[in-house]
Amino acid sequence: MTREPIASLRARLRARVDNPRDVDVLLADVSGRTPAWLFAHGEYEMDPAPVEALVQRRIDGEPLQYIRGRAEFFGREFFVDDRVLIPRPETELLVEAAIAQAPLGARVLDVGSGSGCIAISLERERPDLKVSSIDVAVSALAVASRNAREHDARVRFAASDAFEAIRGKFDLIVSNPPYIPIADYEQLAVEVRDHEPRGALTPGPLGTEMIERILDAGRAPVVMLEIGFGQLDDVREVAGGYEITDVINDLAGIERVVVLSRNASQ
């Protein structure tokens, strides 16, 4: 078996990638050591083949989170693969808003389970909530259910295209729906467009198709949504019986989370 000093292997692979830190993370995963330990023990030798294979996947455009099989979200680690969208920091704003505003003991529905990161984070932070989560993709629900087990979260998952398989009302609906217009989707970075599930990113030509379905259903007096850049006016146009009562900006100043309340007359 060929072995190579860590310092040499690290330098060689870092020169091949756009983000050198990715190499440090993958080296740490393969070796079972921390990046700091590896940096301090450059003379230590290891088999280069396993990490070379992982770095090649990164060079080919596969997201780091899929290569590692995990992503951080709201202080927890979630299993992820190409069946689900990679959790983003911006979505933590949606969770924070729901934690702060959900009534005690509220029935909460997460539309679009994905990895389960929203629903699980809500239930773990607010155990008083009765959290359910739906997704049209059974493959995504398998990932979400695995994460719920790993975090001992009491979340009910169900396969449903929007609300077709769901009965009853909820006190709060939260969702990070697909909201990218198809024309914008085609311009996304390769690692997003070619690796993450298309259905979790774009709902169609307008970008508001799923948002409109959620609001048209009127299943809760309050709905919290993550939205895209410059999409606030489009959401206002499809709000129907709801009115926008709050908008939360992300760290870049982009209108990222919108809170809608059903009109009193509805």
Given this structure, which CATH class describes domain 82-262?
Answer: alpha beta
**136-190 pLDDT per residue, tens:** 999 999 999 999 999 999 999 999 998 999 999 999 999 999 999 999 999 999 9
For the record, the structure tokens of 234 come out as 């489009």
Q: Locate 265 and state its tokens.
A: 């007359």
| Percent of the residues in the chain that have a pLDDT greater than 70, as a whole number | 99
The whole-model pTM stands at 0.94
- Given the structure tokens 């709902």, which residue do they identify? 203
Max CA distance (Å), the chain: 74
Helix or strand (DSSP H, E) at 34: none
The DSSP call for residue 198 is: G
- Cα 241 to Cα 115, 238, 255, 261, distances in angstroms: 30, 9, 21, 8
The domain segmentation of the chain, as residue ranges, is 4-60, 82-262
33: left (phi over 0), alpha (psi -120 to 50) or beta: beta
Report d(CA 104, CA 84) in Å as an integer.
Answer: 30
At which residue do the structure tokens 């049209």 appear? 136
